[in-house]
Structure 1
Amino acid sequence: MFRTAEKMATKSILAALVLLSILGTSAAKPWGLKLDYYRSKCPDAEAVVQRVTYQYVSRQPSLAAGLLRMHFHDCFVRGCDGSVLLKSPNKDAERDAIPNLSLRGYEVVDAAKSALEKKCPGVVSCADVIALVARDAVSVIRGPYWPVPLGRRDGRVSKALEVFTNLPSPFANIAVLKQNFLAKGLNVKDLVVLSGGHTIGISHCSIIHNRLYNFTGKGDFDPSMNPSYVRTLKKRCNPNDFATIVDMDPGSVKNFDSHYFNVVAQKKGLFTSDATLLDDPETKTYVETQVSTGGSSFARDFSDSMIKLGFTQVLTGKAGEIRKKCAFVN
């Protein structure tokens, strides 16, 4: 059964304390976001989003990974402004870019927004809905819970080409990833912590084909991968298979936990961007610490980094708009 009102009230109090400890009592003001932003305008906004998210994710738990990924992809391109939701008649919006073609969960965001429009028309932004849905989806599968300061406004621009220059690539090495995250105000710890979101992710054979069969153009596999794991993956992904699904966190893909770091430590990270976490002293130390402590700090660290991610280049005040439908500008 979903959380009772009493439990949620406790969570909200703890969430507020966590937010204050991370950002300081006045730190949220420069961004114009705050936990009680909709208190007078739409007091039930979070409850509405939470209810819709639960309805979808409880029936299809794999949506949690998709919704978390959508929030991440949204924030890394033009900031957390809902631009990833926009459709373009010319198929040149963010959602049309190759890295975003596999995004899932648009129907959850649309359903939550539709419910909000019936209750509080023209009040709650699609950008806020994505941020809330991502948090609530993870919470439904018993993952970490974090406070989501609200008040984001929706962007009016969405360009596919900007996805390639802003979104971290699964083929990137640690130096490039650090640059990607720094450009968004996120540090090295945030990089390794948020990579832990792959604990519930899936991918396809197409993304790892070169790592298995032609890493240097000589028909070899990536030497940074565990050879036994390469053999296992080859049994699942034959040379001509680009569609079969592969778990990011084999053995624990349905659980939001720290097992992902065990996988990385064993050199079984699916992407180059996972494997390269062992190439930097700080990220490697974090990986090893989570392995040795059974992930004692991961839930807390993930919550902290998700809060920071949610502040990325937000639009507030009179910037942007509040879309009536998330796929279209007003």
Structure 2
Amino acid sequence: MAFATHFVTLTLLALLAWAANAQLSPTFYGTSCPNLQSIVRSVMIQAVNNEPRMGASILRLFFHDCFVNGCDGSILLDDTATFTGEKNAFPNQNSIRGTEVIDMIKTRVEAACNGTVSCADILALAARDGVFLLRGPSWTVPLGRRDARTASQSDANSQIPAPFSPLSTLISMFAAKGLSARDMTALSGGHTVGQARCTNFRTHIYNDTNIDPRFASIRRANCPTMGGDNNLAPLDIQTPNLFGNNYYQNLVSRRGLLHSDQELFNGGSQDALVRSYASNGGLFSNDFAAAMVRMSNISPLTGTNGEIRRNCKNVN
């Protein structure tokens, strides 16, 4: 009986340890790397001061990481002769930006806390700081992710929502990641900052009818029917470098740049929420921050899974 009791106790302890490992904590590096967040913030301040768009680029990098097999830093891995990463998947090719900023942060973190902090956690913190530095909300980032040793170009091609997606597809793709339609609409508000390439909005400005004609005309001037695929336009025509609720006001006025943007306000289930965000910036900010925390919890590697990469571009 004593042996049985001891066995049950050990089993319970093992289960409790597993549960603890499976959960992220904002104080994960409290003793092992106490200066982590100040290091990340200092590099992000420099990066955003040099180029405000970088805040949006890091946010997009984090989104594209989390939507492919969880927030595991897999998007940061370079292709090699024997390894195919995600950087050249269709949603990322010639468009993801900011990996050099993550590399710079990683170098400084390694100097302070060698072999301790994952690239996945650095990216999560940098995304939060990028939003905050563009006058957006802040939030407490749960930490303790480990880095993937693998990546999937095919999953990046199939799991990241496309700018041409209809509302039903957007809702189902977010639901597949455990995120609600409200989360999806709030997270789409990340398009209040940043730029998009002509190839991603050409069809919307030339073929769609749910678009303000004058806005379409303005965008066509820099996005011809042929060529100019990489010409850029602001996702938020009013304040592309300031985080706020203008994105939703633009949707109500039918000035969403991407087809997938305008789908949020096109006679469908999200119209009322878009109107609420358009009129209440505080509501949007609160929902966005909460949705970012939920997104950051998608399938993290914890415990002994994965690794702590020494260089974010390559597995150890």
Summarize deviations over 1:99-150 as a string: whole Å, max 9, x none: 1121111111001111111111110000000000111111122211011010
Q: Distance in 2 between matches of 1:320 and 1:270?
A: 38
Contact 1:189 1:282 in 2 (8 A): no
Summarize deviations over 1:146-180 as a string: whole Å, max 9, x none: 11010000011112111111111111111111111
Q: Distance in 2 between matches of 1:160 and 1:120?
A: 31
Whether 1:320 aligns to 2:306 is: yes
- Structure 1: which 5+ runs fail to align? 1-27, 214-220
Contact 2:65 2:74 in 1 (8 A): yes
Aligned to 2:77: 86
Summarize deviations over 1:253-299 as a string: whole Å, max 9, x none: 11100000011111111111101112465421111112233x23111
Whether 1:109 aligns to 2:115 is: no
Contact 2:147 2:301 in 1 (8 A): yes
Contact 2:57 2:98 in 1 (8 A): yes
1:100 to 82, 85, 92: 92
Contact 1:174 1:280 in 2 (8 A): no
1:175 to 161, 168, 181: 168
Q: Please report the RMSD computed on the Cα atoms of aligned residues, expressed in angstroms.
A: 1.5
Summarize deviations over 1:283-321 as a string: whole Å, max 9, x none: 21111112233x231111111111101100111001100
Q: Which amino acid aligns with 2:257?
A: L
Whether 1:329 aligns to 2:315 is: yes
Whether 1:228 aligns to 2:214 is: yes
Once the two structures are TM-superposed, the CA of residue 29 in structure 1 deviates from its matched residue by: 5.0
Aligned to 2:183: 190
Aligned to 1:9: none
Once the two structures are TM-superposed, the CA of residue 47 in structure 1 deviates from its matched residue by: 1.2
Contact 1:31 1:311 in 2 (8 A): no
- SS at the partner of 1:246? strand
Q: Distance in 1 between matches of 2:20 and 2:138?
A: 22
Contact 2:21 2:302 in 1 (8 A): no
Summarize deviations over 1:79-104 as a string: whole Å, max 9, x none: 00000000111473111112112111
Larger radius of gyration: 2
1:269 to 250, 256, 261: 256
% identical aligned pairs: 37
Q: Which amino acid aligns with 2:244?
A: D
- SS at the partner of 1:256? coil
Q: How many corresponding residue pairs?
A: 295
Contact 1:193 1:301 in 2 (8 A): yes
Q: Distance in 2 between matches of 1:289 and 1:207?
A: 27
Q: Distance in 1 between matches of 2:90 and 2:243?
A: 27
Q: Distance in 2 between matches of 1:282 and 1:238?
A: 33
Question: Structure 1-normalised TM-score?
Answer: 0.86
Once the two structures are TM-superposed, the CA of residue 30 in structure 1 deviates from its matched residue by: 7.3
Aligned to 1:161: 154
Question: Structure 2-normalised TM-score?
Answer: 0.90
Q: Which amino acid aligns with 2:130?
A: A
Aligned to 2:6: none
1:62 to 36, 53, 78: 53
Q: Distance in 2 between matches of 1:208 and 1:53?
A: 29
Q: Distance in 2 between matches of 1:30 and 1:151?
A: 8
Q: Which amino acid aligns with 1:68?
A: L
Aligned to 2:225: 239
- Structure 2: which 5+ runs fail to align? 1-18
Aligned to 1:305: 291
Q: Which amino acid aligns with 1:328?
A: N
